[in-house]
Amino acid sequence: MLAGTPSAQDDTPLRADHLFDLASLTKVFTTVVALRLVEQGIVVLDAPVEDLVAVGTGAEAARITLRHLLTHTAGLPPECALWRDGVTGESLRDGVLRSELRNTPGAAHAYSDVGFIAVGEILERASGRSLESLVGDVATELGADALTWHPDPERAVATEEQPHRGLIRGQVHDELAHALGRPAGHAGLFGTLDDVAALARMIRDDGVGARSRVLSPGSIRLMSEPVARAETGYGQAVGLRVRDQAWMGDTDAVGHTGFTGTCFAVCPESGGFGVLLVNRVHPTRVDTDVSAIRREFLHPIAGRVDAPTRPR
Give the distance from CA 48 to its chain's centroid: 23
| pLDDT for the residue numbered 112 | 98
Tell whether 11 is covered by a domain.
no
Q: For residue 292, is pLDDT > 70?
A: yes
Instruction: Determine contact, residues 75/105, Cβ cutoff 8 Å.
Output: yes
Query: Range of 156's domain?
Result: 20-302
Tell whether 308 is covered by a domain.
no
Tell whether 13 is covered by a domain.
no
pLDDT tens digit string along 75-95? 999 999 999 999 999 999 999
State the CATH number of the domain containing residue 142. Answer: 3.40.710.10
Q: How confident is the model at residue 312 (pLDDT cuts 50, 70, 90)?
A: very low
Residues forming a β-bridge with 20: 191
Instruction: Determine contact, residues 143/211, Cβ cutoff 8 Å.
Output: yes
pLDDT tens digit string along 244-287? 999 999 999 999 999 999 999 999 999 999 999 999 999 999 98
Dihedral of the CA atoms 1, 147, 28, 172 (nearest 10)?
-90
Tell whether 1 is covered by a domain.
no
Tell whether 82 is covered by a domain.
yes
Q: For residue 101, is pLDDT > 80?
A: yes
Is the pLDDT higher at 32 or at 311?
32
Q: For residue 70, is pLDDT > 90?
A: yes
pLDDT tens digit string along 191-213? 999 999 999 999 999 999 999 99
| pLDDT for the residue numbered 308 | 47
What is the value of pTM for the model shown?
A: 0.96
Q: For residue 1, is pLDDT > 90?
A: no
Dihedral of the CA atoms 39, 40, 41, 43 (nearest 10)?
-80
When divided into structural domains, the chain yields a total of 1
Distance CA 182, CA 147 (A): 16
Q: How confident is the model at residue 310 (pLDDT cuts 50, 70, 90)?
A: very low
| pLDDT for the residue numbered 145 | 98
Distance CA 212, CA 311 (A): 6
Rounded to whole angstroms, the maximal C-alpha distance in the chain is: 54
Burial of 29 (0-12, 13-18, 19+ CB in 10 A): buried
Write phi, then psi, for 51 (nearest 5 degrees): -70, -20
Q: For residue 45, is pLDDT > 90?
A: yes
| pLDDT for the residue numbered 303 | 87
Instruction: Determine contact, residues 29/189, Cβ cutoff 8 Å.
Output: yes
Tell whether 168 is covered by a domain.
yes
Terminal CA-to-CA distance of the chain, rounded, Å?
30
pLDDT over 70 for what percent of the chain? Answer: 97
pLDDT tens digit string along 115-163? 999 999 999 999 999 999 999 999 999 999 999 999 999 999 999 999 9
Computed over every residue of the chain, the mean pLDDT equals 96
